[in-house]
Amino acid sequence: SADGGRNLSLDSILMGLPMSDPTAWATAMNNLGMAPMGMTGQPLLPDFDPALGMMTGIPPINPMMPGLGIVPPPIPPDMPAVKEIIHCKSCTLFPPNPHLPPPATRERPPGCKTVFVGGLPENGTEQIIMEVFEQCGEVIAIRKSKKNFCHIRFAEEFMVDKALYLSGYRIRLGSSTDKKDTGRLHVDFAQARDDLYEWECKQRMLAREERHRRRLAEERFRPPSPPPVVHYSDHECSVVAEKLKDDTKFSEAIQTLLTWIERGEVNRRTANNFYSMIQSANSHIRRLINEKAAHEKEMEEAKEKFKLALSGILVQFEQIVAVYHSASKQKAWDHFTKAQRKNISVWCKQAEEIRNIHNDELMGIRREEEMEMSDEEIEDPSEMKETEESALVSQVEALKEENDSLRWQLDAYRNEVELLKQEQGKATRDEDTTKEQQMKLLQQALQGMQKHLLKVQEEYKKREAELEKVKEDKLKVETLLENLKEQESSTSRVCACSQEKECPAEKTLSNIPVKSEREVLLVGIISTFLHVHPFGASIEYICSYLQRLDSKICTAEVEVLMTRLQNTFRQELSGVGASLEKRWKFCGFDGLKMT
């Protein structure tokens, strides 16, 4: 039946005459007007005349014909490797010459389900095209043109590969030899909007599924959110205060305290409660320092144990190596066999390598200890003096800040006492008793704060006296240095009198206000810095830039150097009243003209 003929597949409809039958192959090639060739490339019929073929007017296949490329289309796995004749109900398909190169194809579009079929017979109909290509799979649509080509759309992508298998076949309608009933099929990929749209929809669906899977995986591996922090109340405040005193619950309580402060729970009514909690949190600093010291001590003990154990292991390695060396001497070596000697020499080399590795490790540990000891050596006395002065200055500044903070606290307490006094006349007797207790507590706190303030003021005076003594000592040392320099200059003048005629340049150099190479470098750096600041800069700004290069540079040294060089640097005052500011400017170009 017709339906049965259409449902024939390429696997079932094979060439009726096998390739091994030379007569059948020669007949098929003769019908196509080609010289019959065997599988080995030898001509089957030496006397063949192309003009005597049944299909006259069809030129023989030439490898240089257009459409024949180097890249062959992929062969589906269920297709036979050697192409054979395919018999259909209304037509016959003859395979191309196996020795010719396969037909070329264009690049496969994404999601391609449509093929282009060219070289159709002029008398070919859609029924014949359906009969030939439905063997490759379900055909959805055929769009035939009047110019002997058509487009065929399949249901699935793999059916396109089966259709490409038919590219290069010669088609003949029935047994007719007319030119309009023959043609050479050229099957290639076609680019269709429907295929691209379906492929994009499929890709979007896959992307949605991938995003959904990724979101599920992220939710699975996402860490749980931290527990919520309770809102502030007097009860919760007392609970947190108790937890702050407990070492095991300190971390949880300190996090709650931090959250409350960041939320803005601190106000005039709750300030004392928060201050007591902050004070209890501060008491844990000593505990943490002690824990750190204990851990450091354990680490040092572990290092010592490791060093002792390593030295003991090295001693044993030395003994083993000594045994190998004594066994390698001729007295005992001659009594061992060759295999035993070889094993002893290998063991000796291995033991020496391991011993050297452990010895290097021990030496590295000792070297690190020596480096730590060298870092802790005592510094120069001049540097010690400078550090002592800076420490005293920092202590004085810290005491000033503490004194100011205590004064502010006293003012706050006084304001609170005055408010309590004003409210005392309006409240009832029960409230009077509570306010009297609060007054007593505040008075006691004031007395304690006043005592503490007096102690701080005494310490501040002592520190100022010590700082003045240090400054006096420093001035004495500077006067001694200047006297020594004057003595040296007087002696150098006596020597320079005899050399004034020979070297006048040296005399001019002695009058230069710059005394050392360090000061020359400082002058150059400051001049460069002020050159890019045409409106001037304050001495603190200049020193902050110089201290990035050398942390030992102080403000007094820089200011003295700049005042000495009046033709190079000039100090100007800008602003009025409280905004008065001293700025240094570079005037070297003007000073060069004046000098």
Query: How sure is the predictor about 499, in pLDDT bands with cuts at 50, 70 and 90?
Result: low
Determine which helix (DSSP H) or strand (DSSP E) holds 509, and give its type and residue range.
Answer: helix 504-510
Query: How sure is the predictor about 508, in pLDDT bands with cuts at 50, 70 and 90?
Result: very low
Instruction: Please compute the mean of the pLDDT values over residues 112-128 and round it to a whole number.
Output: 91
Q: Is 80 exceeded by the pLDDT of residue 307?
A: yes
Q: Is 50 exceeded by the pLDDT of residue 9?
A: no
DSSP per-residue string spanning 74-103: PPPTTS-SS---EE-SSEEEEPPPTTSPPB
- Provide the pLDDT for residue 436: 83
Q: Is 50 exceeded by the pLDDT of residue 125?
A: yes
Lookup: tokens for 292: 């750190």
Nearest-10 Cα torsion for 82, 85, 89, 90: 120
- Provide the pLDDT for residue 428: 63
Q: Is 50 exceeded by the pLDDT of residue 16?
A: no
DSSP per-residue string spanning 118-169: E---TT--HHHHHHHHTTSS-EEEEEE-TTSEEEEEESSSHHHHHHHTTTT-
The contacts of residue 141 (CB under 8 Å, 6+ apart) are 152, 153
Instruction: Please compute the mean of the pLDDT values over residues 231-244 and round it to a whole number.
Output: 90
Q: Is 50 exceeded by the pLDDT of residue 3?
A: no
- Provide the pLDDT for residue 33: 45
Q: Reduce the DSSP state of residue 396 to 3 states and report it.
A: helix
Integer CA distances (angstroms), 587 to 527, 547, 572, 575, 594, in order: 9, 23, 11, 21, 11
Instruction: Please compute the mean of the pLDDT values over residues 517-542 and round it to a whole number.
Output: 86
Lookup: tokens for 379: 């510094």
Q: Is 60 exceeded by the pLDDT of residue 70?
A: no
How far apart CA 35 and CA 48 sit, in angstroms, is: 7
Q: In this predicted model, what pLDDT tens digit does every residue of 163-191 receive, in sequence order? A: 999 999 999 988 877 888 899 999 999 99
- Provide the pLDDT for residue 1: 33
In this structure, the chain runs to a length of 595
Percent of the chain scoring above 90 in pLDDT: 18
How far apart CA 150 and CA 117 sit, in angstroms, is: 5
Are 321 and 352 spatial neighbours (Cβ–Cβ below 8 Å)? Answer: yes
Q: Is 80 exceeded by the pLDDT of residue 27?
A: no
Integer CA distances (angstroms), 481 to 263, 487, 563, in order: 61, 10, 20
Instruction: Please compute the mean of the pLDDT values over residues 562-587 and round it to a whole number.
Output: 82
Q: Which residue has the higher pLDDT, 142 or 223?
A: 142
Q: Is 70 exceeded by the pLDDT of residue 380?
A: no
How far apart CA 415 and CA 412 sit, in angstroms, is: 5
Q: Which residue has the higher pLDDT, 246 or 374?
A: 246
Query: How sure is the predictor about 324, in pLDDT bands with cuts at 50, 70 and 90?
Result: confident
How far apart CA 304 and CA 384 sit, in angstroms, is: 33
Strands 569-574, 91-94: pairing kind: unpaired
Are 44 and 37 spatial neighbours (Cβ–Cβ below 8 Å)? Answer: yes
- Provide the pLDDT for residue 83: 81
Compute the Cα dihedral for 527, 533, 538, 541 and give only its sign.
Answer: negative
How far apart CA 374 and CA 391 sit, in angstroms, is: 24
Q: Which residue has the higher pLDDT, 379 or 482?
A: 482
- Provide the pLDDT for residue 207: 95
Which of 6-15, 216-225, 271-280 has the least mean pLDDT? 6-15
- Provide the pLDDT for residue 425: 66
Q: Is 60 exceeded by the pLDDT of residue 66?
A: no
In the predicted model, what is the mean pLDDT of the chain? 79
Q: Find, among 545, 524, 530, 541, the residue nearest to 587 by Cα.
A: 530
Are 514 and 520 spatial neighbours (Cβ–Cβ below 8 Å)? Answer: yes
b/e code 434-445 from CB counts within 10 Å (16+ = b): ebeeebeebeee
- Provide the pLDDT for residue 361: 86
Q: Is 70 exceeded by the pLDDT of residue 21?
A: no
Query: How sure is the predictor about 556, in pLDDT bands with cuts at 50, 70 and 90?
Result: confident
- Provide the pLDDT for residue 76: 57
Q: Which residue has the higher pLDDT, 590 or 66?
A: 590
Q: Which residue has the higher pLDDT, 34 or 96?
A: 96
